[in-house]
Structure 1
């Protein structure tokens, strides 16, 4: 998922966040902040007189603002998480559950129903019944539903941001930015409902007309990543719905509730019953049942390369094939040339490596630097990395990784690289002050062999490596020297280098003087080699994923007019 793709650019000035409070005027009049405080105090006095309980206000720390901590009557994050099937929450047919723990402090925040093949079959039954009626609705009308969903996302930004933060531990500004980017995509797909074009073509045969139309697939399976649970689901579900399909989503077991909250939002936006469902559970039990069901006409998956290859293999062995859309990992380079703005390059390198704790497929995990500026860039980059605020509070930049297992895997990977000769420049440890949360210090290494597993395998954590190269040709060779090809960036003031990098670096996205990430609702996103299988989401290109082209040939006889 790249979005995991959408998120704030380096520095707080780029993040979606409330305006700063105005200061009281010097002429004796109160500013906006003082007026709001006065109103709150007046309302509090009135509530106390009426016997209403007031929420406690505690000082801000680096710990997240979590809905599970809210003392209000209803909690946004439930203690029990169920499937979302047929416009309602439903427990697993077998009654089994598993724990959902908070990455922020390792607390068990919910029990999640553990689905089985029977639950998947039920969701597909419901989707199959609902798909035909939904497909017959004109595309602009389907777009209207997405437009209302986008409006609800904006209206519920705070609530949904809290859900995303409870599930992922992201810093607050990143969590609400994910909600905003999801709303942007809904609005974009709404507008595409009025541009649901086909083509009209000529024919060499007299009295014949030819045209193409977009046809829905039927039931689509959307298998979710954990790193951007709301943006990830919006990327798949919005274009699928616009194309007239029903969707069965498989929540990631580490971020289970976002897909249910999304279902409630779609229901409130007017989506007909049964068109969207979400099932909970583990990949081998629920995900593979979804992939194997021959009523599923498309499987869209964002995640690891091994799982993506297994999905493609499983679909190929079905009696009835299905379309498979894979958005997989990345080992993305950021090249710093000897004519680059080193301050800007260091800022973008740190953002690429450490935003969302490096848990994004577009993370910048390889920093390839010309020898002439290597030492200066290293100093600038390490200085900026040392200033990264680790935590989940409103001003923090690097949150926790998703699970204790991920944290232990990352620490072991860094330790192994050091034992093989790498030099640790920063980080490489858990943040003890934030224990038992799953926080890892931003980590930078050098002297890592290009063939080392740390250079070749996606880590999905706040770890990046520095590589020294003699010049442009070596930089291109190193940039292309992995099995991945998702994104890449180059920092240079030379337009010829820019054009050569665009032409010679093999990837789905190239950034010039920017970070390795970056996508918008109108932009196609995807990769080559082991980063994907040729499809792109979102943008109008996503419509080609979630529909089939149907060619219509009409023969007529002028004599019968």
Structure 2
């Protein structure tokens, strides 16, 4: 990064060739209906590309190709060593093209280039590599039957998988799903968000170059209510994996029921609580992590620590440290390597976040840090204090750099406030009391609890939520369970 200044990235952006077409059967092609949608750079509000708009006919074609590739066995019946080699090569190619992919991600989403280059693209390649390495290390089972029988328990690829992924971490979250789905032997149709399709489209060619057979990975940029809905309703899609809003997740479940009862795996919304107790190891360290937990990626993170619950006795001292930590998150040009805060995804979302702030103030919250004085789609750190659990800003997912602060008097109240949510994705706990840490880890109704950190982790641990934050898990070996079916083979030996 040291040798790559803002002028370098601006020059690279000018020279960049952006692929805009669908990727089906190993080839780029225009949408059958000839329609497109415009991708706008959220930082400059200038057009980036006219992207082909997949609709029902394109979905039908991609599903047919995926089904053909799956049933042929060219990938589904390939040995684990073969699948491993291809996926490892794909990860290598992603690393080799990391600057191009990072630039596409930043231009498409407005996130800082330093984060795209340091976090998103390496993380995406790491996910592919991790599952490539895992595929030949997952074994079947033999059940403990009576001596007269042998019962084998095996896993088989589920078939045609549709992966619908969001715009906040486009390639990273796509690869959290592609890694296990492809490693297990499935054929996949990837539907990126219409707000961030560019890296997914580019991935198609890299997968082909890596040796992935034609039709095993297809990429369909398109609108959610068109291409996404068509995939969810399709009778020949066996499994749908999704990351996005709870509202859309609910619709996908309905569509599955209306069609073929396809498996539906959802990583949906969040309203995660970050609990800071008076005995936390370091106010400064907790404040720095809490600021990153809500302001990183402009707050557009499903597991963002958007609710800060802080013990009354330390509230004033902690807020001083928190606002000091927030100063580092100054919105800047995403192509400036010094920037650690870019833009919101688009003008509509910027307006939505502003409306939440206004509603919070109308309901009695106090604005102690205001990030709304930015131009265009930029928004800085924003803090609302004196928030009570009944306020909209305490209940709904804002998906922006807005922190809602509430105080508590004791452990019981902290747990009650934290669990008072329809969501259950994550929670943070800051304490020096090991017994309290274990107590709260058991009492908090979430998929992940972070003790004296916020949102740390790697590919070895599962990620997902409970309640209306969804079902199933991304990452770790547990993700393979989503893309395989268990089979019992019972042999009578007598």
1:382-421 per-residue CA deviation (whole Å, 9 max, x = no partner) reads 1221232312121222211101000011111101111221
Aligned to 1:54: none
Distance 1:428 1:193 in 2: 46
Q: Does 1:201 align with 2:136?
A: no
1:313-370 per-residue CA deviation (whole Å, 9 max, x = no partner) reads 110122x211110000110111110011110111011000100001011111011000
Q: CA deviation at 1:65?
A: 2.9
Distance 1:260 1:94, change over 3 A: same
Pick one of 86, 89, 94 that aligns with 1:148.
89
Aligned to 1:325: 265
Distance 1:462 1:283 in 2: 25
Distance 2:77 2:142 in 1: 21
Pick one of 130, 134, 151 that aligns with 1:192.
134
Aligned to 1:178: 120
- Report the 3-state secondary structure (helix = DSSP H, G, I; strand = E; otherwise coil) of the residue aligned with 2:23: strand
Aligned to 1:82: 21
The list of structure 1 runs, each at least 4 consecutive aligned residues, that deviate by more than 4 angstroms after superposition, is none
Q: Is the Cα–Cα contact under 8 Å of residues 389 and 395 in structure 1 kept in the other structure?
A: no
Aligned to 1:296: 237
Q: Is the Cα–Cα contact under 8 Å of residues 98 and 112 in structure 1 kept in the other structure?
A: yes
Distance 2:10 2:198 in 1: 14
Q: CA deviation at 1:202?
A: 2.8
Q: Does 1:139 align with 2:80?
A: yes
Q: CA deviation at 1:69?
A: 3.0
Aligned to 2:301: 360
Distance 2:6 2:187 in 1: 43
Q: CA deviation at 1:97?
A: 1.4
1:37-73 per-residue CA deviation (whole Å, 9 max, x = no partner) reads xxxxxxxxxxxxxxxxxxxx9x738xx9357633x4x
Aligned to 1:480: 419
Distance 2:482 2:328 in 1: 42
Aligned to 1:378: 319
Q: Is the Cα–Cα contact under 8 Å of residues 359 and 392 in structure 2 kept in the other structure?
A: no
Aligned to 2:467: 529
1:448-485 per-residue CA deviation (whole Å, 9 max, x = no partner) reads 22111110011111111111111211111111111011
1:76-95 per-residue CA deviation (whole Å, 9 max, x = no partner) reads 434xx111111111111111
Aligned to 2:55: 116
Distance 1:105 1:246 in 2: 37
Distance 2:311 2:171 in 1: 38
Pick one of 413, 422, 436 that aligns with 2:356.
413
1:432-451 per-residue CA deviation (whole Å, 9 max, x = no partner) reads 3xxx3x11111001112211
Aligned to 1:556: 493
Task: Report the TM-score when normalising by structure 2.
Answer: 0.96
Is the radius of gyration larger for structure 1 or structure 2?
Answer: 1
Q: CA deviation at 1:497?
A: 1.3
Q: Is the Cα–Cα contact under 8 Å of residues 271 and 306 in structure 2 kept in the other structure?
A: yes
User: How many residues get paired?
Assistant: 488
Q: Does 1:344 align with 2:285?
A: yes
Aligned to 1:60: 6
Distance 1:462 1:66 in 2: 26
Q: Is the Cα–Cα contact under 8 Å of residues 424 and 445 in structure 1 kept in the other structure?
A: yes
- Report the 3-state secondary structure (helix = DSSP H, G, I; strand = E; otherwise coil) of the residue aligned with 1:339: coil
Distance 1:487 1:415 in 2: 26
Aligned to 1:422: 365
- Structure 1 residues 541-552: aligned runs within 5 Å: 541-552=478-489
Q: Is the Cα–Cα contact under 8 Å of residues 491 and 514 in structure 1 kept in the other structure?
A: yes
Aligned to 1:37: none
Distance 1:365 1:121, change over 3 A: same
Distance 1:66 1:293, change over 3 A: farther
Unpaired segments ≥5 residues, structure 1? 1-17, 22-56
Distance 1:66 1:500, change over 3 A: farther
Aligned to 1:453: 392
Distance 1:483 1:286 in 2: 28
Task: Report the TM-score when normalising by structure 1.
Answer: 0.85
Distance 2:10 2:271 in 1: 32
> What's the Cα RMSD here?
1.6
Q: Is the Cα–Cα contact under 8 Å of residues 426 and 445 in structure 1 kept in the other structure?
A: yes
- Report the 3-state secondary structure (helix = DSSP H, G, I; strand = E; otherwise coil) of the residue aligned with 2:462: coil
Unpaired segments ≥5 residues, structure 2? none
Distance 1:451 1:67 in 2: 49
Distance 1:95 1:348 in 2: 47
- Report the 3-state secondary structure (helix = DSSP H, G, I; strand = E; otherwise coil) of the residue aligned with 1:94: coil
